[in-house]
Structure 1
Amino acid sequence: MKTSLVQVISAAFILLWIYTAGSKLVDFQAYKQEMSLQVFSPGVTLVLLYAIPLLEILAAILLLVKKTNKAGMILSLLLMLVFTAYIILIISGYFPKKPCSCGGIIKAMGWKAHLIFNIFFISASILSLFITLKPEVSDND
């Protein structure tokens, strides 16, 4: 049961990362334009332009392989935490501009819906890591 829950969570993240990275790469010019509207310096924006889809694809690949699944889940959690911190800063009015360079249908979400979406995935990744890191209890104990 626990293993299948971890697999379902991993599958959900794989779909999320492939979908978001894929939608950025399929319409790279639009993604590049949206990234140029971000509040970051041009140098940081250039790094993020390539790093974000690359890290999303890397997370999906790590999640696909049993030996690297835990590393993929940790990377997924870290990505979601960073994206969520950014959303919180947007919602709180910290940034003067509020562009969204998310991929696909996720871009259509409002910021509060996006926050709830991210909190759900953060919770799922923490649950998955808790299950995989928790030592197995033997019947002989």
Structure 2
Amino acid sequence: MKRKIIIEIISSLLILLFLYASVSKWLAFKTFIGEMNNQPFPNWMTPYLVWGIPIIEVLISIGLMFEKTRVSALYASFVLMTAFTIYTVAILLHAFDYVPCSCGGVIRKLTWPQHLFFNLFFVVISLLGIWLKKREPVEAVRTAGA
């Protein structure tokens, strides 16, 4: 029972993060496009990124809401947050000629080291969620999915 509550908390935190991030991008869409054009990626990628990232965040959130798709969504959360974390580390290591930012809302207020710890927290809880889901008794998984 305790495991299930922890998994629900982890899923809820990730849902809040990804829904908040996607909505903040869409609410300031022109700003988001401009910031994506300021990234160290070729500008031809911008249309794919400005639509793809928020849509992926919403899809992950939806996947986290359902028992049948939760493990896949936890893996997707882990991959996406790991990618964001690697990007943050690259910024902290001065891998780019300038410091880009496309963070929205209150996340924009974080310093890059704070951003790194923020991202690492979500990487770790994604991994913890995966680990806890994999350790669930088979019977609990069968009855939860029915």
TM-score when normalising by structure 2:
0.90
Instruction: Give runs of ≥4 in structure 1 deviating > 6 Å.
Output: none
Give the match's secondary structure for 1:84.
helix
Structure-2 separation of matches of 1:27 and 1:135? 41
Relative distance call for 1:137 and 1:28 in structure 2 (3 A) is: closer
Q: Deviations over 1:26-50 (max 9, x none)?
A: 1101111111111100112221111
How far apart are residue 135 of structure 1 and its match?
5.1
Tell whether the 8 Å contact from 1:17 to 1:59 is kept in structure 2 after alignment.
yes
Tell whether the 8 Å contact from 2:63 to 2:72 is kept in structure 1 after alignment.
yes
Q: Deviations over 1:81-128 (max 9, x none)?
A: 000000000000001121111221111111100000111111111111
- Matched AA of 2:36: M
How far apart are residue 137 of structure 1 and its match?
8.8
Could you tell me which residue of structure 1 aligns to residue 55 of structure 2? 54
Could you tell me which residue of structure 1 aligns to residue 142 of structure 2? none
* Unaligned 5+ runs, structure 2: 140-146
Q: Deviations over 1:11-63 (max 9, x none)?
A: 00000000000000011011111111111001122211111111111110100
* Unaligned 5+ runs, structure 1: none
Matched, 1:114 2:112: no
Tell whether the 8 Å contact from 2:33 to 2:46 is kept in structure 1 after alignment.
no
Give the match's secondary structure for 1:38.
coil
Structure-2 separation of matches of 1:45 and 1:119? 26
Could you tell me which residue of structure 2 aligns to residue 37 of structure 1? 38
- The alignment-based identity, stated in percent, is 35
Write the mapping of 1:49-128 to structure 2, written as runs, cut at 5 A. 49-128=50-129
Could you tell me which residue of structure 2 aligns to residue 24 of structure 1? 25
What RMSD over aligned residues (CA atoms) do the two structures have, in Å? 1.4
TM-score when normalising by structure 1:
0.93
How many residues of Structure 1 are paired with residues of Structure 2 in the alignment?
A: 138
Give the match's secondary structure for 1:118.
helix
